[in-house]
């Protein structure tokens, strides 16, 4: 029987059916649903190919005295894991054990992982890869609007948009079905796209007569200040809205005065007349205008301020909190929204509560059956957690769940060295990822079509994920793993392996919080009715939040003054952008990173999908032909990139779609092709702890033609097991 479910990839969570009938790969079909209307991207259509992949993990792997990973029974694996957790705690304290989670985990798993860290391990050292994704947008929304929900309105509201300002996002490649919702705005010439590259989304925009603003990477904040300047100076601001629904205008205006369009052009390279055209277009159609941000403007050391500047612009135009217009941010990972709401983030408890709030601690502790004072305080963000791996005072024993930081984390070379320095590394995954290659213990877990649970889409809609196929006999659900470990560790409270039981507990733990799921029952989910949070028990869901009031105590949005910072930007900006020659300093360029249509995140899944891998088998460095000529680089030739954090190698792809002062590298590849070997962590956003992903100073040099551009990944660790046998109790294999 076909099973109704949702795509395992991005946060659009396209609806699909999966039919396992017959031999071979289950058949995928698009399902009519408001977000995708039956459409899927290439990743969605091929998602079922991985369910029976020959590289699938089906038994725990433990590193032996010879340094090799070998299969062991589950009881042996879990006994060893519990022993190592206890040993690290005894030798170094509870903070020596850490957990690194992922934005692809279901709500139930994300919730129980946060609970496991704080109750079973007693550690504050938990964070997740969403810190590198949504944290700047979340910090900006919380301080300006008082609430962080990616899109505070249904995606279908965009169908009637007449103008959309899209900053730092390329949905035509990253979530193609989403582009259908922009069709009216595109057809009416109302798309305004900010991107240093001429992407597929930009080409759609230009075909419809829209506007492409192509700034120097890392100057988006200045560009937004310039747009806001035009709105104020040219009398386009909605003064009535500002008086009724906001505060802080008087503190915002002085900072905007300094950024007139001609000055903005000097910094960003965007022509002043084009900036004015964009601002007037957005204002003329304010009844149908939306401002949407993506990672391109948020993954910077000033990402929170840049997202704040986008919110300020939207508020000046009178957009947020109205039907038919608004502000939002496009969540990337499949459960990036739900994953940060319920406890994976270092400073949060379920329901989007602060772990430092005594009332929040008391509420959640009561649900968990522990004393509030027994819960640890706030932990440290991902960069700091990973930077301290294996050090005195840092994490000595790490459990990685649903993430591949050897490829996806910034300064990936340092992360790799940190993993090798750990006393014990556990990785839960369904393939031997690059991170798993460094593990002392690898746990085989379920894929999306083999599990039950819920996900929360980019529009704050909670969706049901259903089991469509049986998992391999040796794979286990993470909820079961946590329950078994909690029993071995003698943890207080209950840890249930049943997702329905965990979901019921999540409802109670989230009740009364910002992200209140208490009214989202299984009966409601099964009915097919839309379930948007906040959805209190006995109440209704909220597809459009902020209509009546913003999330601050006084119900008003806050206009927060922001200003450009130099920290973290690419070195040696050279002369004003619009006056630069094709290559202002030979070899010194700004690297920006991003996604390709065919691949997803670290590529653990898509690089194992035959058709996707064959179309994009290796990293390609997008570089302007004039820049390449100045460096003696031919199309298809191997190139070495060097940054303070490290080096990477890729083949050149000459294209006029990128600025002459900029190069682009996708972040889906491992080894010497890993883009995040170049991105650094010397500076982070002071509010969100986001490192700099999108503007890294690099130098290039061509390599000899026979120098392969895809050398193997760094050597996985081959440490011997501890001297003598590890004392673990003789516990029979537990049943699922």
Q: Which residue has the higher pLDDT, 720 or 454?
A: 454
pLDDT exceeds 60 at position 190: yes
Per-residue pLDDT at 578? 38
- Contact between residue 518 and residue 536 where contact means Cβ atoms under 8 Å apart: yes
User: Cα separation of 486 and 490, whole Å?
Assistant: 6
Query: Is residue 79 a part of any domain in this protein?
Result: yes
**Mean pLDDT, residues 7-24:** 91
CA distances from 512 to 114, 391, 509, 552 (A): 18, 39, 8, 15
Same domain, residue pair 420 and 364: yes
The torsion angle over the Cα atoms of residues 426, 432, 438 and 439, rounded to 10 degrees, is 20
* pLDDT tens-digit series, residues 317-368: 999 999 999 999 998 898 989 988 999 999 999 999 999 999 999 999 999 9
With bands split at pLDDT 50, 70 and 90, how would you rate the model's confidence at 707? low
Q: Could you give the residue ranges of the DSSP H alpha helices within 10-159?
A: 42-45, 74-92, 107-115, 135-145
Does residue 559 contact residue 315 with C-beta atoms inside 8 Å? yes
**Total tally of structural domains belonging to the chain:** 4
**Same domain for 139 and 118:** no
Does residue 725 form part of some domain? no
State how far the Cα of 212 lies from the Cα of 710, in Å rounded to an integer. Answer: 34
Q: What is the pLDDT of residue 208?
A: 96
pLDDT band at 1 (very low <50, low <70, confident <90, very high): confident
Using an 8 Å Cβ cutoff, are 302 and 695 in contact?
Answer: no
Lowest mean pLDDT among 76-85, 374-383, 486-495, 586-595: 586-595
In Å, how far are 51, 72, 474, 482 from 470, measured between CA atoms?
Answer: 10, 22, 11, 20
Spatial distance between the Cα atoms of 7 and 420, rounded to a whole number of angstroms: 34
Computed from CA positions of residues 545, 548, 553, 556, in that sequence, does the dihedral angle turn out positive or negative?
Answer: positive
Q: Which of 325-334, 497-506, 702-711 has the lowest mean pLDDT?
A: 702-711
Percentage with pLDDT > 90 across the chain:
90
Between 156 and 21, residue with greater pLDDT:
156
Is 587 inside a domain boundary?
Answer: yes
CA dist list (Å): 578 to 297, 584, 592, 655: 20, 11, 19, 19
Closest CA to 170 of 593, 620, 606: 593
Which has the closest alpha carbon to 191: 166, 174, 171? 166
Work out the average pLDDT over 70-96. Answer: 98
User: What angle in degrees, to the nearest 10, is found between the helix axes of 220-233 and 272-284?
Assistant: 60
Give the range of the structural domain holding residue 31, as residue numbers without chain letter: 3-50
Region 241-246 average pLDDT: 98
Provide CB contacts within 8 A for 448, sequence distance 6+. Answer: 5, 8, 47, 465
- What angle (nearest 5°) sits at the alpha carbon of residue 514, between those of residues 111 and 529? 80
Q: In this predicted model, what pLDDT tens digit does every residue of 578-614 receive, in sequence order? A: 333 333 344 589 999 999 999 999 999 999 999 999 9
Classify residue 540: in a domain, yes or no: no
Residue 727 lies in a domain: no
What pLDDT score does 334 carry?
A: 87
**Whether residue 321 is found in the same domain as residue 180:** yes
Distance, in Å, from the CA atom of 55 to the CA atom of 437, rounded to the nearest integer, reads 13
The Cα 704–Cα 497 span in angstroms is 55
The pLDDT confidence band at residue 214, using thresholds 50, 70 and 90, is very high
Classified as helix, coil or strand, 69 is strand
* DSSP label at residue 461: B
Distance (Å, whole) CA 702 – CA 715: 25
Are the C-beta atoms of 592 and 217 separated by less than 8 Å? Answer: yes
- Residue 337 in contact with residue 457, Cβ under 8 Å? yes
Q: Which of residues 505, 536, 563 is at a domain's end?
A: 505
Domain of residue 242, CATH code: 3.40.228.10
Cβ atoms < 10 Å from Cβ of 723:
6
Rounded to 10°, the helix 107-115/499-510 angle is 70
Q: Minimum mean pLDDT among 481-495, 643-657, 713-727: which range? A: 713-727
User: What pLDDT does 363 receive?
Assistant: 98
pLDDT digit string, tens, across residues 377-418? 999 999 999 999 999 999 999 999 999 999 999 999 999 999
pLDDT of 704 reads: 86
| In a shared domain, residues 87 and 171 | no
Residues 108 and 177 both lie in one domain: no
291 assigned to some structural domain: yes
**Residue 216, token pair as written in the block:** 């120097």
Q: Are 465 and 354 found together in one domain? A: yes
Strand bridging mode 61-63 / 69-71: antiparallel
Whether the bond into 127 is cis, omega within 30 of 0: no
Residue 297 lies in a domain: yes
219 — phi, psi (to 5°)?
-110, 20
The per-residue pLDDT for range 435-444, each reduced to its tens digit, is 999 999 999 9
Q: For the domain that residue 602 is a member of, what is the CATH number?
A: 2.40.40.20
Residue 720 within a domain? no
Q: Are 214 and 277 part of one and the same domain? A: yes
Do 595 and 631 lie in one domain? The reply is yes
Structure tokens at 573: 């900006």
pLDDT confidence of residue 706: 64
Q: Running DSSP on this structure, what letter comes out for residue 348?
A: E
**For position 44, which CATH number holds?**
2.20.25
| Separation between Cα atoms, residue 199 and residue 213, nearest integer Å | 12
* Token duo for residue 320: 């947020």
pLDDT in tens, 162-184: 999 999 999 999 999 999 999 99
* Residue 164 near residue 185, CB atoms below 8 Å: yes
Average confidence (pLDDT) over 247-260: 97
Residues 449 and 464 in one domain: yes
Measured CA to CA, the distance from residue 669 to residue 433 in angstroms comes to 11
- Per-residue burial over 129-145, b if 16 or more Cβ lie within 10 Å, else e, is bbbbbbbbbbbbbbbbb
- pTM recorded for the entire structure: 0.93
Same domain assignment for residues 600 and 691: yes
**Who wins on pLDDT, 104 or 565?**
104
145-154 pLDDT, tens digit per residue, is 999 999 999 9
Average pLDDT for 226-246? 98
Whether 207 and 79 share a structural domain: no
Q: What is the pLDDT of residues 647-700, one digit of tens each?
A: 999 999 999 999 999 999 999 999 999 999 999 999 999 999 999 999 999 999
Average pLDDT value for residue range 207-221: 96
Co-location of 248 and 120 in the same domain: no
């Amino acid at each position: 029987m076909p099973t109704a479910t949702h795509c395992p990839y991005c946060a659009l969570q396209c609806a699909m059916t999966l039919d396992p009938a017959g031999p071979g790969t289950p058949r995928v079909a698009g399902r009519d649903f408001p977000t995708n209307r039956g459409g899927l991207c290439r990743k969605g259509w091929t998602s079922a190919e991985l369910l029976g992949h020959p590289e699938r993990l089906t038994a725990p792997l433990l590193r032996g005295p010879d340094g090799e990973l070998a299969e062991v029974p589950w009881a042996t694996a879990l006994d060893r894991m519990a022993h190592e957790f206890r040993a690290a705690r005894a030798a170094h304290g509870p903070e020596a054990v850490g957990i690194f989670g992922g934005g692809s985990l279901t709500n139930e798993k994300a919730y129980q992982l946060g609970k496991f860290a704080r109750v079973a391990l007693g550690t504050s050292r938990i964070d997740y890869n969403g810190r590198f994704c949504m944290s700047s947008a979340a910090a900006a929304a919380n301080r300006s609007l008082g609430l962080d929900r990616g899109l505070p309105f249904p995606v279908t509201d965009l169908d009637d948009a007449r103008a959309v300002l899209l900053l730092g996002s390329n949905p035509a490649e990253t979530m193609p079905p989403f582009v259908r919702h922009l069709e009216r705005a595109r057809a009416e010439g109302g798309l305004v796209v900010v991107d240093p590259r001429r992407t597929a989304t930009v080409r759609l925009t230009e075909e419809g007569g829209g506007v492409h603003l192509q700034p120097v990477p890392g100057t988006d904040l200045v560009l937004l200040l310039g747009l806001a300047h035009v709105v104020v100076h040219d009398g386009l601001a909605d003064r009535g809205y500002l008086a009724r629904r906001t505060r802080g205008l008087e503190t915002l205006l002085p900072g905007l005065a300094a950024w007139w369009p001609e000055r903005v052009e000097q910094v960003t390279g965007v022509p002043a007349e084009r900036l004015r055209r964009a601002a007037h277009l957005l204002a003329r159609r304010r009844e149908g205008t939306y401002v949407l941000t993506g990672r391109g403007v948020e993954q910077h050391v000033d990402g929170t301020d840049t997202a704040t500047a986008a919110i300020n612009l939207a508020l000046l135009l009178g957009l947020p909190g109205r039907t038919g217009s608004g502000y939002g941010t496009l969540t990337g990972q499949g459960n990036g929204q739900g994953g940060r709401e319920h406890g994976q983030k270092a400073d949060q408890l379920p329901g989007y509560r602060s772990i430092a709030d005594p009332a929040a601690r008391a509420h959640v502790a009561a649900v968990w059956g522990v004393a509030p004072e027994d819960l640890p305080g706030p932990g440290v963000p991902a960069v700091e957690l990973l930077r301290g791996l294996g050090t005195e005072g840092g994490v000595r024993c790490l459990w990685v769940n649903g993430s591949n930081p050897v490829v996806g984390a910034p300064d990936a070379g340092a992360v790799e060295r940190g993993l090798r320095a750990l006393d014990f590394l556990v990785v839960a995954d369904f393939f031997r990822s690059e991170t798993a290659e460094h593990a002392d213990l690898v746990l085989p877990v379920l894929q999306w079509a083999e599990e039950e649970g819920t996900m929360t889409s980019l529009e704050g809609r909670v969706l049901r994920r259903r089991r469509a196929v049986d998992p391999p006999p040796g794979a286990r659900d993470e909820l079961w793993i946590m329950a078994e470990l909690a029993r071995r560790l003698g943890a207080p409270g209950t840890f249930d392996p049943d997702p329905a039981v965990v979901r019921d507990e999540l409802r109670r733990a989230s009740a009364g919080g910002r992200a209140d799921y208490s009214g989202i029952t299984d009966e409601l989910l099964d009915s097919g009715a839309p379930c948007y949070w906040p959805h209190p028990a006995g109440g209704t869901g909220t597809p459009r939040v902020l209509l009546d009031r913003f999330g601050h105590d006084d119900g008003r949005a806050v206009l927060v003054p922001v200003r450009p910072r130099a920290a973290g930007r690419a070195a040696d900006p050279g002369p004003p952008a619009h006056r630069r020659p094709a290559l202002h300093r030979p070899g010194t360029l700004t690297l920006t990173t991003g996604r390709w249509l065919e691949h997803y995140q670290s590529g653990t899944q898509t690089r194992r999908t035959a058709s996707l891998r064959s179309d994009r088998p290796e990293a390609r460095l997008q570089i302007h032909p004039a820049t390449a000529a100045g460096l003696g680089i031919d199309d298809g030739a191997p190139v070495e990139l060097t940054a303070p954090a490290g080096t990477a190698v890729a083949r050149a792809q000459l294209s006029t779609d990128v600025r002459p002062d900029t190069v682009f590298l996708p972040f889906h590849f491992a080894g010497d092709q890993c883009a995040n070997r170049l991105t650094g962590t010397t500076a982070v956003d002071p509010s969100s702890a986001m490192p700099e992903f999108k503007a890294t100073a690099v130098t290039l040099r061509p390599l000899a033609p026979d120098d392969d551009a895809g050398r193997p990944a760094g050597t996985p660790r081959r440490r011997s097991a501890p001297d003598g046998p590890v004392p673990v109790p003789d516990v029979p294999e537990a049943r699922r």
